[in-house]
Structure 1
Amino acid sequence: MQSVVAPQGGYAGSRRSPIGLGGTIAVHAVAVGIFLLMPREMIERFVPPSIITYAVPADPPPPDPVQPPPDNSKHPIQQPDRSVIPATIPKVALPVDPVDITGTVDPLPPIQPKIETPADPPRAPVFAQASPDPRFARDFQPAYPPSMQRMDMEGSVTVRVRIGADGRVLSVEKLSAASDAFWDATREQALRKWRFRPGTRDGTPVESERVMTVHFRMT
């Protein structure tokens, strides 16, 4: 037997056997044959799925730190000069909707007048006119004036007398007279002798007026 001495620091490999090399080729051939004879469904089952990628959003930047409000006590704020209008402000024309004046306008409903029920008018006072007191009826005829009697003249006098609440005559006004003698006789008799039942308002005696006519006749 011949020995093989390897040099120092080298590698001495063993010589491969032809039988082992053929066995290795046979095993690979059998494996390839089995793979080719396998059903398609089994082959596709072992196909690894495709890898789907997507973009991962980046983290938002951190917020800015809160700055304390500036101290304006040392630096007062300068107010802008409002008298100067910057020339860079554009003038925008606002659209104007056209007004249709051809259409019809519904008439307003008629205004119903407010009818107020009138209040009951105040009751008119009940007034009773003065009348001659029958107890003094014979004193109403004045004496015939002698001058008219000598002239054989007749006549009449109409007067308006104002009567007090006590029934006495307060004043006499001449409305008509046939002569001054008849008027003087009537006025004197009325102021001295005439008495009336006074006029009343709602039963209360009041002053009133009355027109009286006195006739002078020759008997």
Structure 2
Amino acid sequence: MLDHEEKFLFKEEILQLSNALSETGALDNVEDLLTDVITSPRFDSEVFTLERSLQVMLGVRTGSTLVGLLTVAPDVFDEVAEVRIPPEVHERLVAWRARFGLAIDNALNFLNNPDGIQGHNFATQVAHVDERRVLQGRLTLVRYNNEPQFFQADAQVYYGLIADLLERLGPHTDGDAIDGETLTRLKDAVALVERKAMPRPDRA
């Protein structure tokens, strides 16, 4: 439950949110945004930018208030009923919390406390794009909850990712961070890429 000071601040935030949502078209625009996010195939990444999108739409403080209200504890949300706001605004808030709140809360918790990776797999394939042969990779990451995630991209994307990883890991690496076998594999792989990437005499 909220103490006296918290209730006062809570009331002020809800009133500001209500005023923003009372603007013409605001309720429908916010609902459209929430619906787009919750139904997006890229939900995990979309929800990460949800608060920023609401801040642009409603204002910085008000956008944050709405995200917090959708995911706050039930007893705190019940305090909204004690604040004098238009019935249509209160009805939408209740409906949004019921429809979107749990999914958004779970996604935000995952983003703030990401699951670890217990395994991975990587495969290559050649795709035909605009009459060109394009080397692609398919990366599978297996979370600790055994749920796999798949990523497919052109080889250039993966080479950029590998370079970023090595550049950021390198300065902090010591003998405990990487074993000799893995280091040898890295050296051999880089040497192979260098040989393959060298221009052929017939293409010079």
The TM-score with structure 1 as length reference comes to 0.16
Q: Which has the higher contact order (CA 8 A, sep 6+)?
A: 1
Pick the structure with greater CA Rg: 1
Instruction: Flag the structure with higher helix content.
Output: 2
